[in-house]
Amino acid sequence: MSHRTRSWTVIVWMLALFATPSFAADDAALLKDLTSVIALLGLPCGQVISATQTKENDHLATCKDGNRYRVFVNAEGRVVAQKQ
pLDDT at 17: 62
Q: Name the nearest CA neighbour of 56 among 5, 11, 15, 7.
A: 15
pLDDT at 9: 78
pLDDT at 25: 45
Question: What is d(CA 37, CA 70) in angstroms, rounded to the nearest whole number?
Answer: 11
pTM as predicted: 0.67
List average pLDDT for each run of 10 residues in the chain, which is 84 residues long: 72 66 64 92 92 91 94 92 93
pLDDT at 5: 76
